[in-house]
């Protein structure tokens, strides 16, 4: 309660009660309320006194000019790659507004347009996964490993926040509801979602990692072991004949996209890959024959999936399966296209339930086209969250419901998972497709376990370097094994 409100309250109370004095309890309660008010006021002052997120060198006149330029350039930088092209566009726009502007002022404004202040430090920090700008109230940084930090700076003035948002919207790619919801691919590759709320703009930034996490990074983080990694390699490769159709499940921030991205190291170089996402997140730079598609107001995911079938794909990757596009994905699987995707679910059975019910409504009879289900979750060990693969299942048939074979499951009581069981359903399909006995497939999987272990020992953990090694193994496995010092190993299956 503010002091003025408190005074008004006391006056009204005196009017109602005449000149009756407060009793001791009333006085104590009033004093406690006043102390609470003082504490709240102190907390508010502490929040108000945070540093400014952005400090500008422009004067008022130059800021007004910058605002006009930003308004005209909305989305103008999104398709431009070269800095020179962006500068030329900005200069032309500035001259349209005021033909008498000097080069010095234009350079000064262009420098400020690229100034994101302290937010720049956050988006370039590889340890930070997400940034939440809560209008002019606060800014939070979410670090890998579950740590969250309330930063000691914020946007103290709404006009500064609006101008910051205008700078982001230079790279806007997708907007809804008259620009009240905007998606942005920032200059450094990070993704920003902007929404206009009653208290101003709220901005959520998903940081872009210059180097996407590799399978070996995830092993070293404790997400899974080498045997699981080798099974994932087998699923993705399928000996260039029959890769697996995979759904990766988990709740938000479980690591679905990171795992999916790490699997790109195992894709054969000649495979044509089509990725479809609501907002482009996957790092596909290690693949050459790849197309990245993104939904918008006019192209929902279901239309992208349908159209991708006309693009001669070898592999379709759907960033998130959540609606009627699930039916088109299953159709693609049934006609021989390999599909991968992520889905929000907490277990293998939960994945099936989600597929069978609204809004996906996939008929039970076609679901066995999916080979493998992988479930991730955050697991708390000694009070710290760690991302883990908690379940791997293969679909083995249909009776009264979809039959699942659990090959791998995490035990929450012991915080351990038993060794992954041999693949049966997928192994047998692969065995039939390539004409080799099932034991040979398991033996080849063991060879790949040794390769991954050796790469980690040699410090070869970067996703692109792993990809190069894997491609070399595909083209000349014997030579690669000798190069890695694994002279006692030999490839079991050569295709």
Query: Where exactly are the structural domains of the chain?
Result: 3-49, 52-206, 215-420
Give the whole-number percent of the chain exceeding pLDDT 70. Answer: 90
**Gap between the Cα atoms of 302 and 352, Å rounded:** 19
Supply the CATH classification number for the domain 215-420: 3.40.50.300
Model-wide pTM > 0.85: no
Distance, in Å, from the CA atom of 90 to the CA atom of 107, rounded to the nearest integer, reads 10
**pLDDT tens, position by position, 391-402:** 999 999 999 999
Cβ proximity of 408 and 216 under 8 Å = no
**Residue 195 is inside which H or E element, if any?**
strand 191-197
The fold of 52-206 is: Beta-Lactamase (3.30.450)
Q: How far apart are CA 484 and CA 454, in angstroms?
A: 7
Contacts of 474 (CB under 8 A, 6+ apart): 237, 240, 268, 269
Classify residue 210 by burial, with Cβ atoms within 10 Å: 0-12, 13-18, 19+: exposed
Does 36 have pLDDT greater than 80? no
- Return the minimum-mean-pLDDT range out of 37-41, 281-285, 384-388, 413-417: 37-41
In the structure, what pLDDT confidence band is assigned to residue 4 with cuts at 50, 70 and 90? very low
Assign residue 18 a region: left if phi > 0, alpha if psi is -120 to 50, beta otherwise? Answer: left
Residue 312 has pLDDT above 90, yes or no: yes
Dump pLDDT digits (tens) for 226-264: 999 999 999 999 999 999 999 999 998 899 999 999 999
State yes or no: pLDDT of 146 exceeds 60: yes
115 - beta bridge partners? none
């Amino acid at each position: 309660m503010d002091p003025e409100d408190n005074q008004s309250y006391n006056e009204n109370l005196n009017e109602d009660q005449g000149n009756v004095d407060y009793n001791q309890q009333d006085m104590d309660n009033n004093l406690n309320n006043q102390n609470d008010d003082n504490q709240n006021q102190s907390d508010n002052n502490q929040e108000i006194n945070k540093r400014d997120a952005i400090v500008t060198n422009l004067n008022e006149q130059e800021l007004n000019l910058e605002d006009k330029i930003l308004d005209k350039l909305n989305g103008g930088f999104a398709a431009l790659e070269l800095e020179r092209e962006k500068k030329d566009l900005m200069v032309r726009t500035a001259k349209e507004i005021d033909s008498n502007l000097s080069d010095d002022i234009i350079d000064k404004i262009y420098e400020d347009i690229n100034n994101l202040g302290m937010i720049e430090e956050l988006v370039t920090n590889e340890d930070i996964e997400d940034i939440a700008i809560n209008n002019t109230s606060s800014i939070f940084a979410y670090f890998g490993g579950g740590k969250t930090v309330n930063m000691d700076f914020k946007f103290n003035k709404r006009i500064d926040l609006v101008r910051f948002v205008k700078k982001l919207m230079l790279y806007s790619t997708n907007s809804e509801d008259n620009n009240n919801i905007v998606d942005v691919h920032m200059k450094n590759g990070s993704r920003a979602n902007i929404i206009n709320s009653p208290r101003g703009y709220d901005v959520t930034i998903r940081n872009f990692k210059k180097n996407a996490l590799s399978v070996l990074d995830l092993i070293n983080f404790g997400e899974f072991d080498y045997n699981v990694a080798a099974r994932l390699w087998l699923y993705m490769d399928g000996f260039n004949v029959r890769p697996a159709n995979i759904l990766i499940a988990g709740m938000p921030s479980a690591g679905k996209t990171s795992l999916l991205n790490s699997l790109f190291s195992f894709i054969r170089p000649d495979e044509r890959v089509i990725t479809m996402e609501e907002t482009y997140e996957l790092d596909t730079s290690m693949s050459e024959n790849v197309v990245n598609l993104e939904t918008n107001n006019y192209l929902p995911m279901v239309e992208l999936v349908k159209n991708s079938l006309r693009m001669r794909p070898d592999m379709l990757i759907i960033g998130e399966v959540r609606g009627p596009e699930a039916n088109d994905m299953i159709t693609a699987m049934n006609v021989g296209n390999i599909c991968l995707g992520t889905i929000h679910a907490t277990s293998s059975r939960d994945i099936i339930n989600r597929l069978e019910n609204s809004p996906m409504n996939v008929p039970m009879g076609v679901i066995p086209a999916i080979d493998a289900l992988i479930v991730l979750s955050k697991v708390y060990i000694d009070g710290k969250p760690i991302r883990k693969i908690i379940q791997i299942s293969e679909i083995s048939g249909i009776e009264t419901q979809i039959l699942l074979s659990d090959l791998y499951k995490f035990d929450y009581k012991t915080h351990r998972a038993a060794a992954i069981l041999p693949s049966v359903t997928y192994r047998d399909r692969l065995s039939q497709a390539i004409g080799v006995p099932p034991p040979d497939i398991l033996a080849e999987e063991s060879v790949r376990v040794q390769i991954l272990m050796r790469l980690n020992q040699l410090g070869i953990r970067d996703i692109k370097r792993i990809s190069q090694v894997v491609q070399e193994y595909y083209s000349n496995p014997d030579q690669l094994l000798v190069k890695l010092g694994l002279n006692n190993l030999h490839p079991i299956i050569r295709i």
